[in-house]
Amino acid sequence: MSVTITKRLPGFALDVSWQAEQSVLGLFGPSGAGKTLTLQCLAGLVRPDAGRIVVGERVFFDAAAGVDRLVLRPRPEMDAAALERFAGETGRALGLPAA
């Protein structure tokens, strides 16, 4: 996994970059360091302002190239059935087995 992302919010600027060769990764730091925002960007819940996210050979996000294959984002008008379908689509997009 290779991650280089930035996200600017009022009062906070996230700027992270790392490469991980192992399948298990730990993310730690002090309160307010941006751990949750980083995970939200990786999950596709928040779109990074700039950067690149690559897993293996698959590019999920590349702002410079206009690539945004992060998981689908839920919309406020979705009902319970639509949210359930959304969750299934998200799992498939990440390559997870069906429940």
The full set of domain ranges for the chain reads 2-68, 71-99
Write down the pLDDT at residue 13: 96
pTM above 0.85, yes or no: no
Along the 99 residues of the chain, how does pLDDT read in single tens digits?
899 999 999 999 999 999 988 777 888 999 999 998 998 888 887 889 999 999 888 898 999 999 988 765 656 666 667 666 666 665 665 555 665
Dihedral in degrees, nearest 10, Cα atoms 24, 25, 31, 36: -90
* Alpha-carbon dihedral sign for residues 93, 47, 66, 25: negative
Distances (CA, A) of 99 to 1, 6, 34, 44, 76: 25, 33, 31, 20, 25
Structure tokens at 60: 């999920």
Q: Are strands 50-55 and 12-19 parallel, antiparallel or unpaired?
A: unpaired
One-letter amino acid for residue 37 of the chain: L
